[in-house]
Amino acid sequence: MNSNMELVYFKLLNGEEIIAYAKKIIGGWYIENPALLVSLPEYKVGLANWLPYTKLSAGGNIPDASLLLVAEVDDEMIKYYTTWLTQGAPEVVVNSEEENTQK
């Protein structure tokens, strides 16, 4: 990962939600190590490789015209993503009446 990149959330026009290390470039974003957010039962979220059978799974460019929303990632997701990226991660409870916990 390039040291001037930050972890960013992207909502794509096709409905996909991804997080990735990213930096703004002319006309879009350069991303590395993108992860697809996947809804799981009981208000849980998981991460999966984004486009795993393409060269984009390691990184590439996303044009601004493909984006609905770009946002900062919260601290809990940063920890979860970092664990997922380095070790593979357990499920995380999100948006539940319980506190956010890892199982």
- Give the CATH number of the domain where residue 19 resides: 2.30.30.100
SS3 content of the chain, % helix, strand, coil (to 5): 20, 50, 35
Dig out the tokens for 44 from the structure: 């849980």
pLDDT at 58 over 70: yes
Give the pLDDT confidence score for residue 44 in this predicted structure.
83
Count of the separate structural domains present in the chain: 1
Give the pLDDT confidence score for residue 96 in this predicted structure.
46
Q: Determine, yes or no, domain membership for 102.
A: no
At 4, the pLDDT band (50, 70, 90 cuts) reads confident
**Range(s) of the domain holding residue 80:** 6-93
Q: Which class for 67: exposed (0-12), middle (13-18), buried (19 or more C-beta within 10 A)?
A: middle
On whether the CB atoms of residues 33 and 6 are closer than 8 A, the answer is no
